[in-house]
Amino acid sequence: MKTRKLFAMLLAASLIASLASCGNSGDTSSTGSSDSDSQTSSSTSDSSTAESSTPASTKTDSGVLAATTDVTAEDILARDYSEPITISFAGIQVTDGLDYNHGNEYYEWWTETFNVEWDITSLTFDNWVERMNTWINADDLPDWSVWNFNAGDGANYADQGLVMEMPEDWKTQYPNLAAAATCSPANEYYENLYGGMYYFFRPVFANNFPSDTITSHISMFMRTDWAEEAGYDLSANIESGSISLTQFLEYCQAIKDAGLAEYPWYNTSSYVGNVLDRVTEASGVIQNAYYKGDDGMYHWGPAEEETGVKEALRQIKQAYDNGLLYPEFYTLQDPDDIGHFYAAGDAAANMYTGMAAWFDRYEQYMQENLGVSFWDTSDVFILTDDEGVAHDDPSTNYWACNILSPNMDEATYERIMSIWDYGCTEEGQLRIRLGVPDVDWKYDEEGNIVNLVQDTEYGTLENKYTSLYPITGNMFILSDDYSFINPGFTETSREKVTDLYNKRAEITSVKDEEIDWDLSSYSSQAMNLASMTYADEYANIITKDGDFDTNYDQWVSDKLSMIQPVLDELNAAFAE
């Protein structure tokens, strides 16, 4: 009897809920909300707020970014910072337990000069998206956060005012920042699209970029001494600075056959997926797998033979089955995989960040752990397809964006903006990258920068100031750019990284391709449902037993049931 009553109550409640929802959905449509509300229009808003007077950035004699504005570093430092302010900050790459306020001269200069205390929350790559989304949706953002932008949420958050919209005068008030913002086209595009500046896309490269084409720096680190020992000739590759996937796997096979490594190639599933991205069109590991074909229609990379995804994956699967790739690569965490190269010494190759800082680290760690020099035993190569093309996506030149809480007071806003603005001046960049003037670096009589840390017990700025990153280091302009001229890195590393970029610019697939903003900024519920972690999907196919073709075709067929609605939407909206 009681059960019947309980059911009756539940039934009544669900009916009321249904009626209420039906009734209100009508109200919703009458206020203009519709299905299309869940989609982000990709057409650029007519009401452009991007000011035509945006200051431009130029390269100075010392090669450092400086804005063509009248507001100098001295002007910024001369402002009134007498009121102490605590700024809450959330970002990844923050180390828990480190003091980012006191304890070293580097940080103390920032906290004392700008009279701030950092209240820091550390995020990891695992919880970054989850925590940021929770905070934003709870309207409880820290004052300053680093957010991994995605177009769907970006439009939604801007529309609701869950992130701060910059006041109209921000570009004139903080012109150095505005100049640096022009380095990433995403800043202007999304400012126009959303009708205001909500997201500060952090430029990967500003003015030190050695080539006109922006490409990826991800490269393949390989033991050249083992190649020699195994009788595999790498001389042509060393000359060109590049290696094709087929050659790379032949190299791994030679190393294995010679008994030099049980598993020559160690990488996380992300980097194994990254290999696919480097040798195919539109595999989806880093950028979208959707692309506009020559027919003017949108397609999904893995389903199209012309992209080469299936064949490249087949090669990797074969390598996995032959024991060239570490059998449990999908359980490896970054940087455990590269540790096998420079610390354990049982890996012949891995793919990783091809920046000067990392070349120096490989050198340091190999000397410390293996007693050999990285440069004597190894080299770095650009991975290409068998035609010698290095695949890249047209670059929006940013990695993650800075966002501000809409609830902060004006004083906090002004202080953060001043710090960013200063960080984008030449003086600010030198302080960020080289440390404290006259302590960590100085100008010699000829006006050249002399690094004073290099010959000390620390060797590098990172070793001296353990809390160097990420607040100042990655404040706005990211550190990649300065790799090329930073005397804090060895000359060998800087020359190598510059050489690789120049070589890559010649063989990259992007050249003069334009960014597909329609696609980049598109979002819908169908696209949400079709989202996946491509690196994990590929790792799953690589490790799956049975026939590769059957498994791959089955996977494509499964996914297409979710992908096709997205393609239909994209083609309906943007097909030519």
Return the number of the residue (241 or 273) whose C-beta is nearest other proteins.
273
* Residues 548, 311: Cα–Cα separation, whole Å: 10
Shortest distance in whole angstroms from residue 251 CB to other proteins: 23
Alpha-helical runs (H) found in 309-384: 309-321, 336-342, 356-370, 374-377
The string of DSSP codes covering 229-286 is HHT---HHHHHHTEEEHHHHHHHHHHHHHTTS-SS-B---HHHHHHHHHHHSS---SS
Return the number of the residue (17 or 236) whose C-beta is nearest other proteins.
17
Binding mask 514-533 for other proteins (x = CB under 8 A): ---------x-x-xxx-xxx
- Using CB under 8 A as the binding rule, the residues of this chain from 466 to 495 that contact other proteins are none
Return the number of the residue (151 or 319) whose C-beta is nearest other proteins.
151
Shortest distance in whole angstroms from residue 569 CB to other proteins: 14
Q: Classify 119 as helix, strand or coil.
A: strand
Q: Classify 571 as helix, strand or coil.
A: helix
Return the number of the residue (293 or 323) whose C-beta is nearest other proteins.
323
Shortest distance in whole angstroms from residue 333 CB to other proteins: 11
Return the number of the residue (262 or 409) whose C-beta is nearest other proteins.
262
Return the number of the residue (421 or 537) whose C-beta is nearest other proteins.
537
Return the number of the residue (297 or 344) whose C-beta is nearest other proteins.
344
Q: At what angle do helices 151-160 and 185-194 cross, to 10 degrees?
A: 50
Return the number of the residue (10 or 297) whose C-beta is nearest other proteins.
10
Shortest distance in whole angstroms from residue 261 CB to other proteins: 14
Return the number of the residue (24 or 86) whose C-beta is nearest other proteins.
24
Listed ranges 251-259, 323-331, 407-415, 504-512: which one lies at the site for other proteins (CB under 8 A): 323-331
Shortest distance in whole angstroms from residue 172 CB to other proteins: 29
Identity of the amino acid at 223: R
Listed ranges 24-32, 101-109, 114-122, 290-298: which one lies at the site for other proteins (CB under 8 A): 24-32
In 10 A of CB 378, how many CB atoms? 23
Which member of 21, 47, 52, 82 binds other proteins (CB under 8 A)?
A: 21
Q: Classify burial at 438, counting beta carbons within 10 Å of its beta carbon; exposed 0-12, middle 13-18, buried 19 or more.
A: exposed
Which member of 25, 60, 86, 448 binds other proteins (CB under 8 A)?
A: 25
Tokens 């599933």 -> residue: 269
- Using CB under 8 A as the binding rule, the residues of this chain from 154 to 193 that contact other proteins are 156, 160-162
- Cα 535-316-284 angle, rounded to 5 deg: 30
Listed ranges 241-249, 304-312, 442-450, 537-545: which one lies at the site for other proteins (CB under 8 A): 537-545
- Using CB under 8 A as the binding rule, the residues of this chain from 266 to 295 that contact other proteins are 269
Q: Classify 93 as helix, strand or coil.
A: coil
Question: Is 6 among the residues that bind other proteins (CB under 8 A)?
Answer: yes
In 10 A of CB 220, how many CB atoms? 26
* Residues 194, 184: Cα–Cα separation, whole Å: 16
Q: Classify 299 as helix, strand or coil.
A: strand
- Using CB under 8 A as the binding rule, the residues of this chain from 26 to 65 that contact other proteins are 27-28, 31, 33, 37-38
Shortest distance in whole angstroms from residue 35 CB to other proteins: 8
Count of residues touching other proteins (by CB under 8 A): 57
Return the number of the residue (314 or 559) whose C-beta is nearest other proteins.
559
Question: Is 23 among the residues that bind other proteins (CB under 8 A)?
Answer: yes
The string of DSSP codes covering 25-61 is HHHHHHTT--GGGGS---SPPSS----TTPPPEEE-T
Half-sphere exposure of 289 (CA within 13 A, CB side): 32
Which two structure tokens, joined as six digits, stand for 500? 């690789």
Contact 275, 285 (CB under 8 A): no
- Using CB under 8 A as the binding rule, the residues of this chain from 328 to 357 that contact other proteins are 328, 330-331
Return the number of the residue (476 or 517) whose C-beta is nearest other proteins.
517
Longest distance between any two alpha carbons in the chain, whole Å: 97
Binding mask 119-158 for other proteins (x = CB under 8 A): ----------xx--x--xxxx----------xxxx--x--
Q: Cα–Cα distances in Å, from 458 out to 364, 369, 454, 464, 465?
A: 12, 18, 7, 5, 9
CA torsion, ordered 393, 396, 402, 404, to nearest 10 deg? -120
Q: Which residues contact 547 (CB under 8 A, 6 or more apart)?
A: none
Which member of 513, 536, 549, 553 binds other proteins (CB under 8 A)?
A: 536
Shortest distance in whole angstroms from residue 278 CB to other proteins: 19
Question: Is 463 among the residues that bind other proteins (CB under 8 A)?
Answer: no
The footprint of other proteins (CB under 8 A) covers 1-3, 6, 17-18, 20-25, 27-28, 31, 33, 37-38, 129-130, 133, 136-139, 150-153, 156, 160-162, 269, 326-328, 330-331, 523, 525, 527-529, 531-533, 535-537, 539-540, 543-544, 558, 561-562
